[in-house]
Amino acid sequence: MSPGMVAHNIYAQNNMGIESPEKLIEMLYEGVLRFNAQAKKAIKDGDIEKKFYWANRSISIIVELIEVLDMQAGNISVYLSGLYNYQIQLISTALVENDTTKLDEVNNVFKGLLEAWRETTNVA
């Protein structure tokens, strides 16, 4: 099973009543923020196993976000693909270097994406 399917299944299993794809994207963004916070805590605690566990969950969600992009939609999809891939690089660097500032950077990006997504989709 691909990492993207793992991320999708996490949410599908826990949220059987998701009413829209827009809500799913919002939940995926929230998941990245939540999992990065857990990875950051694990780095600070020196817990290598949990650091990788949470970071890999976050990366799986970002892979899912890349997979669902409609590349026929034009420049925005190309931009998001590059942005998402860069976020994966930052998380990977954070793991190798135990650098929580990289996770903060990723979270700042995803907070902005989440806010913009909510504004454009009016997801309650």
Q: Give the pLDDT confidence of 40-54 residue by residue, as tens digits.
A: 999 999 999 999 999
pLDDT computed for residue 32 by the predictor: 98
Amino acid 8 reads H
The average pLDDT across 77-84 equals: 95
The full set of domain ranges for the chain reads: 3-12+21-121
What's residue 123's pLDDT?
55
pLDDT in tens, 93-110: 999 999 999 999 999 999
Confirm if 87 and 102 have CB atoms less than 8 A apart.
Answer: no
Q: For the chain, count helices (H), then strands (E).
A: 5, 0
CB atoms within 10 A of CB 58: 27
The class level of CATH for 3-12+21-121 reads mainly alpha
